[in-house]
Structure 1
């Protein structure tokens, strides 16, 4: 009997040992990842670290931005990295210092994903060239996006250089491309970003000191870029792009919060107060930037007689799905104002919920309502922290507008 017990213990120990050896482990430190976009490999940098509870986290790095991805799991020779904010994940096989797999989205049925690969201890986002361009990209640029139909939209680029590293963003009327990072090539600049939703790759070639040509690669296609240096570069006034229909001055909606309770902008809680209504989606990076700004702002200002309501249009017409995606954001940003489920993303849903407006051209779109319930201004898009002085200007204008409405 004793001999049987000893044999059992030995076998159990061997099995446990094999299991431990078979369980993959991501090496702590810096990795260079790549996603295949339009026959190009779009690079990004991430860091692997062990948390206090011995769990593993992956931190995406783009310029000054850090996006922590927790709840990393391992199975056999594979690793799964959840990207909970965007209902997506990376699943890859680990082979020593290399990963190979796919970036997938849960909300897409039978998603084939985007090819992914990564290598440990590679810190350069792009190859460093020995003779980088002497032309500096620092400053503001008019950047024209030219699509396949040759239609052009004018946007604004803001960039700065630190040694050979370039950081910055591109502002559009719908929002900004957030934190781009890269370096100089022998003829121009390469920039990329991946914060969990869409990989971006920009390749620029200088024609001269004040002009460049380029390409912008995304999973949706390739856009031609034409850049012209302009220290006065600016976008169309974001307060002129969305308007109330003739004859309408107020919004009227009644929608469920994440507990299923109906909340209306006409409720007593919002009477005689300045109200900010933010149109958002958990899938929208610029919306998350706005939420990250609004949440602490509301905590500091709610006692002044101001309220915020978020109207979330999600990828599925399912309150339970919306609750799962939005709750993570509410917890992450410590949101203390109401977030209501407005339905599934789409123009028809928007017109049903907000029949008073002419169109919704961008997420987020923010309504400023005075104490009498009248919509005074509508701001389209959001210029986030990656845009530098544009972000500071937005905050100044935002607070000035709220102050003036509170004084009325």
Structure 2
């Protein structure tokens, strides 16, 4: 993703402005709605062990997700569950009866308090949004389906690959590929777009309708869809809605198509005419340092440039691949430079966000602060490029420092075979450049 809502609408849900703006400096945890002055520790005690069903309420919709609470060393740990994905949250603090659960590498939190026995209430808060960003949150203990279903209804099959078109409220459209795997009334899958994928989705089928959701700390997504013909056994078309967080909304339509595919991610952007090399020098996340592809460290090596942001879940997926890959392959004569575009113009704050990501994700390659989280701003900071269409974008430099390939977006592990194809293409490109 970049942000997958096509980079146009994705940021509407992220920060009420597409492609993201400057970060607010109000990074202190907020109190949950109605937080009182109960004795310290009451909030943490409300997080009792077990599986919980959380619900975000926005745009008149409920976005459900499951999470597990367990005690680790006498302290609560929360694990978000999105399909096969498990995201562990261990930065949990309590003040009075209010508990703040920091959401991984993202500058966001769930701020909650007890609301009766085995219930929580509070808000999902984004601290780096351009404007105040709070979404009402409630949770109930006890494993439940994400979405209630009627057991006696006929169940259509939505299993398979779909050719999808999303349409924003502004009338603009963009293509996608939907991949769903259904087991009875349970369904998982994702949507791939040219700027990234919508990551791990899970939900239920109820008759001729499906509902899918996800919450990874930065995204809260709800997809609803319906096959128009209730007499069908296998769905052949779908129409529905896509709700993203506080304000993002699109409609979508789909037709069953096992051969559905997107434009080649290696052909969506390139270098400007006459340009062969990137010429930049950005400050390192460490005070006083700088990073440039012309530095002696990179001379004669294959260099991979990762355009990313610590706020970007698709960038998180790519970094989860690149970090261990780099440790295994750096001895072959390959380096990676991560160019961070953050939601703040403050270089110190941006460095702190990227350093937190580096530490939590065990990133061993170099990271620089390159600018603000906006695709047009990113393109201006790298004037040799035609454009920057997505976060992440991956640029491959040969041993001469010349750009040989630009890959837009990243198909993460939630896409199954498409992720495997992505990794195979990545390795093939690096192997080819190393042999030259």
Q: Report the equivalent of 1:8.
A: none
CA contact (8 A) 1:55 1:71 kept: no
Q: Report the equivalent of 1:369.
A: 397
Is 2:94 the partner of 1:67? no
Match for 1:360 among 381, 385, 388? 388
CA contact (8 A) 1:38 1:218 kept: no
Is 2:65 the partner of 1:44? yes
Q: Report the equivalent of 1:329.
A: 357
Structure 2: which 5+ runs fail to align?
Answer: 1-37, 230-234
CA contact (8 A) 1:133 1:184 kept: no
Distance 1:264 1:21 in 2: 50
- Report the 3-state secondary structure (helix = DSSP H, G, I; strand = E; otherwise coil) of the residue aligned with 1:36: strand
CA contact (8 A) 2:88 2:104 kept: no
- Report the 3-state secondary structure (helix = DSSP H, G, I; strand = E; otherwise coil) of the residue aligned with 2:105: helix
Structure 1: which 5+ runs fail to align?
Answer: 1-16
Match for 2:264 among 215, 218, 237? 237
- Report the 3-state secondary structure (helix = DSSP H, G, I; strand = E; otherwise coil) of the residue aligned with 2:46: coil
The structure number with the bigger radius of gyration is 1
Match for 1:253 among 277, 280, 289? 280
Distance 1:177 1:66 in 2: 16
Matches within 5 A, 1:234-383: 234-260=261-287, 261-347=289-375, 349-383=377-411
Q: Deviations over 1:200-223 (max 9, x none)?
A: 001111135311111111133321
Cα displacement (A) at 1:132: 4.5
Q: 1:147 to 1:378 in 2, by over 3 A?
A: same
Q: Deviations over 1:238-273 (max 9, x none)?
A: 011111111101101111111120111101111111
Is 2:248 the partner of 1:228? no
Q: Deviations over 1:24-83 (max 9, x none)?
A: 43111011001112110110001111112x111111100011111112122322221111
Q: Deviations over 1:273-300 (max 9, x none)?
A: 1110010000000001000001111111
Backbone CA RMSD of aligned residues:
1.8
CA contact (8 A) 2:105 2:360 kept: no
Q: 1:406 to 1:18 in 2, by over 3 A?
A: closer
Match for 1:90 among 82, 100, 110? 110
CA contact (8 A) 2:166 2:173 kept: yes
- Report the 3-state secondary structure (helix = DSSP H, G, I; strand = E; otherwise coil) of the residue aligned with 1:207: coil
Distance 1:248 1:21 in 2: 61
| TM-score, normalization by structure 2 | 0.86
Matches within 5 A, 1:69-218: 69-95=89-115, 96-108=117-129, 111-208=132-229, 209-218=235-244
Larger % of helix: which? 1
Distance 1:378 1:321 in 2: 29
Match for 1:385 among 370, 393, 413? 413
Per chain length, whose mean CA-contact separation is higher, i.e. which structure has more relative contact order (CA < 8 Å, sep 6+)? 2
Cα displacement (A) at 1:19: 6.4
CA contact (8 A) 1:79 1:94 kept: no
